[in-house]
Amino acid sequence: MKVLVIGNGGREHAIVWKLAQSPLVTQIYVVPGNGGTAQIATNLNIPSDDLEQMAKFAVENEIELTVVGPDAYLAEGTVDLFQAQGLRVYGPTQAAARLEWSKSYAKEFMGRYRIPTGKFATFTTPEAAKAYVRETGVPIVIKADGLAAGKGVTVAFDLETAGAAIDRIMVDKAFGAAGASLVVEEYLAGEEASLLAFCDGKIAVPMLPAQDHKPIGEGDTGPNTGGMGTYAPTTAFTPELLEQVMAEIVTPTMAGMAAEGTPFVGTMFLGLMITKDGPKVIEYNVRFGDPETQVVLPLLESDLAPIMLAACDGRLAEVEIKWRRETTAVCVVAASAGYPGKFTTGIPITGLEEVEDSLIFQAGTKQLAEGKLVTSGGRVLNVVRLGKSIAEAIDGAYADLRQINFEGIYYRGDIGHRELKRQPRK
């Protein structure tokens, strides 16, 4: 079976790595791909915005499964385009993907189906948004309504920060059209966790729960990023909590999407806050998370290809999905200096050959013609280590990360700190 993966991040490298292990898969193509995918698949020289050319390639080369990685492609209707060509594609349609590309729609959807989440209001002018914030008070959460690569969210603990966030989104247009409107949400106190699930339009099968680290700085300080590291599973997510999330959130979401004529197929990603009143949805994502994928897929014991095929064909109930038990995976992201702001690319990367025990999923990398690997993005590399405990996995990931270097390399030194408190070193 020939497979096409669309995307160029660490998430896509991890998906390609897992699919390459399948005896069903004979060839994997990636567009546009990165330096890591080039080592285990064929990167295609198709413009990253030319969806028609991608679909044409898939038809002409008899691609039997296409996997769409990034949210932007889903929002643009990539799945619809490929399906119109008679192609099997893993991911939600443009209409179903609205759960992510419109935060206001997602909040209204949750209201219709009584899915627990925080209170909210949507605004199209900065003046109205600021007036609402002054009336409601802080802490409060400001979000660009559209897609902003994980950077369009500000948790404001004072009115000045809230006002600046509103201006950044609506006046400065830091996120372009994504900030034409914004959502102001109730601040939810508790512990944040992520749950991904395979979905076939009818049912959803949960993956292992993970915990991300969004802020750039240690101690969860500074601006939000796409994610600076993660680990799975997290003991913050008890079996009882999983059962509650499935019953109160995932199942009603699947039923609601089907009822609205937009059945959800692909990976559903729930950003959750575990509050004193129970789990509440912070946000929906409609694809594999990044960097959650980098820790969840290495813990998947089953073959990924049959799972994706079954999801596309509406027969997920027929597939047994097994996970590695008594194993923890930790991912630490190595980023370019200046990220999530301005950063320099084209910087040589060294030391990867010195890493023996960790998985390296490349993200913002590019392989030059002479074989040299250089940086090409903000989040450059993902170092993933498996261990029998959270401490073992953390120590191993950082030991291997110290073997890698590029000018200005930055990474948080406290990935997994919450889990370490629950599972202290012995």
pLDDT tens, 8-48? 999 999 999 999 999 999 999 999 999 999 999 999 999 99
Residue boundaries of the structural domains of the chain: 2-93, 125-180, 189-318, 328-422
pLDDT of residue 302: 98
For residues 92 and 79, is the Cβ–Cβ distance under 8 A?
yes
pLDDT for residue 426 is more than 80: no
pLDDT score, position 151: 75
pLDDT at 234: 96
What's the pLDDT at 103?
92
The strand order across the sheet containing 359-362 reads 211-212, 229-232, 328-335, 379-387, 359-362
pLDDT score of 327 more than 90: yes
Q: Write the pLDDT tens digit of every residue in 62-103.
A: 999 999 999 999 999 999 999 999 999 999 999 999 999 999
How far from 306 is each of 19, 131, 283, 371, CA to CA, in Å? 10, 52, 28, 34
Per-chain mean pLDDT for the chain? 96
Rounded to whole angstroms, the Cα distance separating 238 from 276 reads: 14
184-210 residue pLDDT tens = 999 999 999 999 999 999 999 999 999
| pLDDT band per the 50, 70, 90 thresholds, residue 149 | confident
Residue range 352-375, pLDDT digits in tens? 999 999 999 999 999 998 889 999
The three-class DSSP label of residue 229 is strand
Answer CATH for 125-180 from 3.65.10.10, 2.40.280.10, 3.40.50.300, 3.30.1490.20: 3.30.1490.20
Fold of 189-318: D-amino Acid Aminotransferase; Chain A, domain 1 (3.30.470)
Q: What is the pLDDT of residues 164-188, one digit of tens each?
A: 999 999 999 989 988 899 999 999 9
Mean pLDDT of 275-287: 96
Q: What is the CATH number of domain 328-422?
A: 3.90.600.10
Look up the CATH number of domain 2-93.
3.40.50.20
In percent, how much of the chain has pLDDT > 90? 93
In this prediction, residue 424 carries a pLDDT of 87
- What is the pLDDT at residue 412? 98
pLDDT at 126 over 80: yes
